[in-house]
Structure 1
Protein backbone atom coordinates (compact mmCIF):
# COMPACT_ATOMS: atom_id res chain seq x y z
CA UNK A 1 0.00 0.00 0.00
CA UNK A 2 2.83 2.38 0.87
CA UNK A 3 4.58 1.67 -2.44
CA UNK A 4 1.38 2.40 -4.37
CA UNK A 5 1.08 5.74 -2.60
CA UNK A 6 4.71 6.59 -3.41
CA UNK A 7 4.23 5.63 -7.05
CA UNK A 8 1.07 7.72 -7.25
CA UNK A 9 2.87 10.71 -5.73
CA UNK A 10 5.83 10.26 -8.08
CA UNK A 11 3.52 10.05 -11.09
CA UNK A 12 1.62 13.14 -9.94
CA UNK A 13 4.89 15.05 -9.43
CA UNK A 14 6.16 14.09 -12.89
CA UNK A 15 2.84 15.09 -14.43
CA UNK A 16 2.88 18.48 -12.70
CA UNK A 17 6.50 19.24 -13.64
CA UNK A 18 5.95 18.26 -17.27
CA UNK A 19 2.95 20.56 -17.45
CA UNK A 20 4.89 23.40 -15.86
CA UNK A 21 7.80 23.03 -18.25
CA UNK A 22 5.50 22.75 -21.26
CA UNK A 23 4.09 26.22 -20.64
CA UNK A 24 7.45 28.00 -20.55
CA UNK A 25 8.34 30.21 -23.49
CA UNK A 26 11.68 29.48 -25.15
CA UNK A 27 13.97 32.49 -25.42
CA UNK A 28 16.92 33.13 -27.66
CA UNK A 29 20.46 33.82 -26.48
CA UNK A 30 20.10 37.61 -26.71
CA UNK A 31 17.04 37.62 -24.45
CA UNK A 32 18.81 35.31 -22.00
CA UNK A 33 21.83 37.60 -21.80
CA UNK A 34 19.61 40.67 -21.41
CA UNK A 35 17.63 39.05 -18.58
CA UNK A 36 20.82 37.90 -16.88
CA UNK A 37 22.38 41.34 -16.98
CA UNK A 38 19.17 43.01 -15.81
CA UNK A 39 18.63 40.66 -12.87
CA UNK A 40 22.24 40.17 -11.76
CA UNK A 41 22.53 41.64 -8.26
CA UNK A 42 26.33 41.44 -8.25
CA UNK A 43 26.52 43.48 -11.45
CA UNK A 44 24.09 46.03 -10.02
CA UNK A 45 26.21 46.31 -6.87
CA UNK A 46 29.39 46.79 -8.89
CA UNK A 47 27.74 49.55 -10.93
CA UNK A 48 26.88 51.34 -7.68
CA UNK A 49 30.49 50.97 -6.50
CA UNK A 50 31.72 52.51 -9.77
CA UNK A 51 29.31 55.43 -9.38
CA UNK A 52 30.52 55.97 -5.81
CA UNK A 53 34.18 55.82 -6.90
CA UNK A 54 33.53 58.40 -9.62
CA UNK A 55 31.92 60.72 -7.07
CA UNK A 56 34.94 60.37 -4.76
CA UNK A 57 37.26 61.12 -7.70
CA UNK A 58 35.36 64.32 -8.51
CA UNK A 59 35.58 65.31 -4.86
CA UNK A 60 39.31 64.56 -4.74
CA UNK A 61 39.93 66.50 -7.96
CA UNK A 62 38.16 69.47 -6.40
CA UNK A 63 40.72 69.63 -3.60
CA UNK A 64 43.49 70.10 -6.17
CA UNK A 65 41.93 73.27 -7.56
CA UNK A 66 42.78 76.60 -5.97
CA UNK A 67 40.22 78.12 -3.66
CA UNK A 68 39.36 81.77 -3.28
CA UNK A 69 38.17 83.21 0.02
CA UNK A 70 36.86 86.75 0.35
CA UNK A 71 36.19 88.50 3.61
CA UNK A 72 35.17 92.07 4.26
Structure 2
Protein backbone atom coordinates (compact mmCIF):
# COMPACT_ATOMS: atom_id res chain seq x y z
CA UNK A 1 0.00 0.00 0.00
CA UNK A 2 1.30 3.49 -0.75
CA UNK A 3 2.30 5.43 2.33
CA UNK A 4 0.75 8.87 2.82
CA UNK A 5 3.54 10.19 5.00
CA UNK A 6 7.17 10.18 3.93
CA UNK A 7 8.32 10.04 7.56
CA UNK A 8 6.46 6.79 8.23
CA UNK A 9 7.84 5.17 5.09
CA UNK A 10 11.37 6.33 5.93
CA UNK A 11 11.05 4.95 9.45
CA UNK A 12 9.90 1.58 8.07
CA UNK A 13 12.82 1.43 5.63
CA UNK A 14 15.32 2.37 8.36
CA UNK A 15 13.87 -0.27 10.69
CA UNK A 16 14.04 -3.00 8.04
CA UNK A 17 17.58 -2.04 6.99
CA UNK A 18 18.73 -2.00 10.63
CA UNK A 19 17.15 -5.40 11.33
CA UNK A 20 18.79 -6.85 8.23
CA UNK A 21 22.20 -5.44 9.23
CA UNK A 22 21.92 -6.78 12.78
CA UNK A 23 20.81 -10.21 11.55
CA UNK A 24 23.70 -10.43 9.09
CA UNK A 25 26.18 -9.32 11.76
CA UNK A 26 24.92 -11.91 14.24
CA UNK A 27 25.06 -14.73 11.70
CA UNK A 28 28.56 -13.68 10.63
CA UNK A 29 29.81 -13.73 14.24
CA UNK A 30 28.16 -17.09 14.95
CA UNK A 31 29.68 -18.59 11.82
CA UNK A 32 33.13 -17.08 12.36
CA UNK A 33 33.31 -18.32 15.94
CA UNK A 34 32.26 -21.80 14.83
CA UNK A 35 29.22 -21.86 17.10
CA UNK A 36 27.04 -23.11 14.25
CA UNK A 37 28.26 -24.92 11.15
CA UNK A 38 25.75 -25.56 8.38
CA UNK A 39 26.29 -27.10 4.96
CA UNK A 40 26.62 -24.41 2.29
CA UNK A 41 23.87 -26.04 0.24
CA UNK A 42 21.36 -25.57 3.08
CA UNK A 43 22.26 -21.93 3.51
CA UNK A 44 22.06 -21.16 -0.22
CA UNK A 45 18.73 -22.98 -0.49
CA UNK A 46 17.30 -21.09 2.48
CA UNK A 47 18.42 -17.75 1.02
CA UNK A 48 16.79 -18.59 -2.32
CA UNK A 49 13.55 -19.68 -0.61
CA UNK A 50 13.44 -16.51 1.47
CA UNK A 51 13.77 -14.40 -1.71
CA UNK A 52 10.95 -16.37 -3.35
CA UNK A 53 8.80 -15.95 -0.22
CA UNK A 54 9.44 -12.18 -0.21
CA UNK A 55 8.49 -11.93 -3.90
CA UNK A 56 5.31 -13.98 -3.42
CA UNK A 57 4.44 -11.89 -0.35
CA UNK A 58 4.51 -8.75 -2.51
CA UNK A 59 1.96 -10.26 -4.91
CA UNK A 60 -0.18 -12.17 -2.42
CA UNK A 61 0.56 -11.17 1.18
CA UNK A 62 0.81 -14.15 3.52
CA UNK A 63 3.35 -12.77 6.03
CA UNK A 64 1.24 -9.97 7.44
CA UNK A 65 0.68 -6.69 5.70
CA UNK A 66 1.96 -5.90 2.24
CA UNK A 67 5.23 -3.93 2.12
Q: Structure 1-normalised TM-score? A: 0.38
In our comparison, the structure showing a higher alpha carbon Rg is 1
- Bigger relative contact order, structure 1 or 2, given CA contacts below 8 A and separation 6+? 2
Name whichever structure is richer in helix by fraction. 1
